[in-house]
C-alpha cells in the first residue's frame, strides 16, 4: 500500500509538472501551513508519503479552484479519482477524502460544460473559451443531479438540521447546503482549511463564536449548523439575494462586494465569470440540489418571520 501511495502521488506531481503550472508563493505558503496544522508529519513518513508531492497536488487543487477559469478543473479529475481510494485508507487523510469525494462532480461538470460549447466557424482554441454562462451551468447541474441518490447520512441529519435552521430564522430548505459542502459528513476537511458539515473557514468560525481549540467546534453538528445558519442570514441581509449570499459564503463577502462595486452590478450572473471557478460551479450546484431535494428555487425561499 505504501508503494501504491507513493506511485499515485508521483503521478499527481507528474501530471501537474507536465502542464508547467506554478502556483503563487502565497498559495504555497498557505498549503505548507495547512499541512503543518492538519497532517501528522511523522505519520506521513511512516506511510512512505512524500509531503512535497502531497503539497504539490493540494496546492494545484487550491490554485485551480481559486482561479477564475472553470475549464481548468478538468485536468485534475484523473489524478483526483486515482488518489481518492488511497486517502480513504488512512486516518490522517480520511477527512480530506470526504471533501474530495464531495467535489469530484465539479470536475465532471467542468468537462460536461466543455462538451456543451458549440463549435463555430472561427472558434478559438479551448484555452481562450469564455467561461460557461450561469444559465448553462445551472442546466448542466440539474442534469448531473437528476438521478443522484440521497447521501447515506442525509436521513439522519436533515430533520434535525431543519429544526436548527428554522430556529435561526433561516429557510429550512437551505440545510441541503450540507450535501454540497460535505455530503452531510461532519468529518470533512478541505485543502483550504474549511472543516465540518458546513465547511466553515477558521476565521469565519471564530467570528461566529466557535472555538477551534482544544476541540474544533466546527466538527460538532449542532454548533456548526447554528453558526452556518447565522452566517447565511447575515449574508442574505447584506446582499439581499440568495445567489450572492451563497457566492459570499463560498468566496468571501469582501470579494463579492468588491466585484459588485467594481462592475456596477447587482446580480450573481453579472459577476460570476470573475469569481473563483469553485464559486461559479458552487452556486448553481446549490440551486440544482435544492431543486432536486425540495423542488424549490432560490428566489422562492423566504426568511421566516420573527
The structural domains of the chain, with segments of one domain joined by +, span: 2-93, 134-298
The total of other beta-carbon atoms located within 10 Å of residue 279's CB is 24
Q: Summarize pLDDT for 159-196 with one digit per residue, the tens.
A: 999 999 999 999 999 999 999 999 999 999 998 889 99
Q: Summarize pLDDT for 48-64 with one digit per residue, the tens.
A: 555 666 667 777 888 89
Residue 195 burial (10 A CB sphere; 0-12, 13-18, 19+): buried
Please state the pTM of the whole predicted model.
0.84
H/E segment holding residue 16: helix 2-18
Fold of 134-298: Lysozyme (1.10.530)
Q: Summarize pLDDT for 201-256 with one digit per residue, the tens.
A: 999 999 999 999 999 999 999 999 999 999 999 999 999 999 999 999 999 999 99
**Residues 141, 285 contacting (CB under 8 angstroms):** yes
Question: How confident is the model at residue 6, as a pLDDT?
Answer: 41
* CA gap 173, 159 in Å, rounded: 10
Amino acid at each position: 500500500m505504501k508503494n501504491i501511495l507513493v506511485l499515485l502521488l508521483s503521478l499527481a506531481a507528474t501530471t501537474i509538472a507536465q502542464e508547467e503550472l506554478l502556483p503563487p508563493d502565497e498559495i504555497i505558503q498557505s498549503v505548507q501551513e495547512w499541512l503543518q496544522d492538519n497532517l501528522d508529519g511523522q505519520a506521513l513518513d511512516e506511510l512512505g508519503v512524500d509531503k512535497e508531492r502531497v503539497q504539490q497536488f493540494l496546492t494545484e487543487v487550491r490554485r485551480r479552484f481559486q482561479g477564475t477559469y472553470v475549464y481548468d478543473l478538468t485536468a485534475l479529475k484523473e489524478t483526483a479519482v486515482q488518489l481518492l481510494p488511497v486517502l480513504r485508507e488512512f486516518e490522517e487523510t480520511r477527512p480530506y477524502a470526504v471533501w474530495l469525494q464531495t467535489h469530484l462532480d465539479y470536475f465532471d461538470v467542468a468537462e460536461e460544460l466543455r462538451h456543451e460549447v458549440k463549435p463555430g466557424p472561427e472558434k478559438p482554441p479551448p484555452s481562450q473559451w469564455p467561461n460557461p454562462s450561469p444559465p448553462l451551468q445551472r442546466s448542466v447541474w440539474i442534469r448531473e443531479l437528476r438521478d443522484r441518490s440521497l447521501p447515506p447520512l442525509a436521513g439522519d441529519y436533515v430533520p434535525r438540521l431543519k429544526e436548527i435552521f428554522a430556529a435561526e430564522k433561516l429557510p429550512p430548505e437551505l440545510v441541503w447546503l450540507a450535501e454540497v459542502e460535505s455530503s452531510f459528513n461532519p468529518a470533512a476537511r478541505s485543502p483550504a482549511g474549511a472543516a465540518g458539515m458546513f465547511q466553515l473557514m477558521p476565521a469565519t468560525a471564530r467570528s461566529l463564536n466557535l472555538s477551534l481549540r482544544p476541540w474544533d467546534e466546527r466538527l460538532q453538528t449542532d454548533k456548526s449548523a447554528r453558526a452556518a445558519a447565522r452566517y447565511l442570514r447575515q449574508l442574505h441581509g447584506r446582499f439581499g439575494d440568495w445567489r450572492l449570499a451563497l457566492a459570499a459564503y463560498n468566496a468571501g463577502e469582501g470579494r463579492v462586494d468588491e466585484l459588485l462595486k467594481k462592475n456596477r452590478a447587482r446580480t450573481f450572473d453579472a459577476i460570476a465569470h470573475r469569481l473563483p471557478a469553485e464559486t461559479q460551479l458552487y452556486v448553481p450546484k446549490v440551486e440544482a440540489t435544492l431543486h432536486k431535494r425540495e423542488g424549490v428555487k432560490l428566489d422562492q425561499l423566504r426568511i421566516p418571520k420573527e
